[in-house]
Amino acid sequence: MAHSVRTADLGGNLRLPYAEQGEPSGLPLVLVHGFGDSHRSFDLVLEHLPASIHVVAPTQRGHGVAARPPTGYGLPDLAADLLAFMDSVGLGQAVIGGHSMGSAVALRFAIDHPERTAGLVLAGAASGMKGTPAAREFWETTVSKLTDPVDPGIVRAMTEVIPAAPVPREFVETMTGEGAKVPAFVWKAVFESRWRLEGDFSDQLGQVKAPVLVVWGDRDARYPRSQQDELLSAIPDSRLVVYPGAGHLLYWEEPERFAADLTAFVEELHPRE
């Protein structure tokens, strides 16, 4: 089904575009994209979600055509944005789904605002987003040297190497364009927040009280099975679904299956009358 694109005004000149689909009275689902993406990241998934799911997918600050304030790119800031966004669009409580950095934002939100979190879906997730040796190397060789406009070739190289299974070429080009919209200072601010340990929530995972579905591709080269096991061990009500042959971008690679898993999880938590 078709989705619409609207803009949420969070105040303080912070305006975030978002995709919306489904019946307004339907079961609430918020989807949070990863670094370098936008709400367009979920286009393939939205095609397979039923009208009974009221889904909204915001573009986070600094991404796509969202507002680009000079600061506020740590996980606590992005989780606060998510709360303000939900207030703006009138969602009291929802299932929150996130991918990669978006899953970290979802976890931070669930820890900080349990009363607004009906459940979590974590795709391509890690048990913490603190700086790793690989992230430090990427910082030193690439991110620290970025200037505007960001070279689309850098984004394309990242986008093409991550999937482990085929993704439509047209969609890859769309997402390359979205990634190139992210200014150099946002790249740097997001990565610098890791060195300040703003992304290290691993010792707080036990505070997540909502049911959690962890979705992982067994060819994810970024976050291995050990990261998923840490999530499952630390979060009381959590379970794992593995996509054989899929990589870090499993929801691009298998959007129909991911949409089905989202739908089943949301309906399990909010049974329709």
pLDDT in tens, 185-220: 999 998 888 766 666 788 999 999 999 999 999 999
Q: Where is 269: in which H helix or E strand?
A: helix 255-269
pLDDT at 137: 79
CA–CA distance from 155 to each of 73, 186, 272 (Å)? 19, 14, 41
Q: State pTM to two decimals.
A: 0.95
Q: What is the rounded distance in angstroms from the CA atom of residue 216 to the CA atom of residue 241?
A: 6
**φ/ψ bin of 13: left (φ > 0), alpha (ψ from -120 to 50), beta (otherwise):** left
Residue 267: alpha-carbon gap to chain centroid? 21
CATH for 4-129+200-269, options being 3.30.1490.100, 2.60.120.10, 3.40.50.1820, 3.30.70.890: 3.40.50.1820
pLDDT at 272: 58
Q: What is the rounded distance in angstroms from the CA atom of residue 53 to the CA atom of residue 29?
A: 7
Give counts: helices (H), strands (E), the chain: 10, 8
For the chain, which ranges sit under pLDDT 50?
none
pLDDT at 271: 61
Q: What is the rounded distance in angstroms from the CA atom of residue 102 to the CA atom of residue 181?
A: 18
pLDDT at 46: 98
Of the candidates 206, 209, 214, 205, which has an alpha carbon nearest to the alpha carbon of residue 265? 214
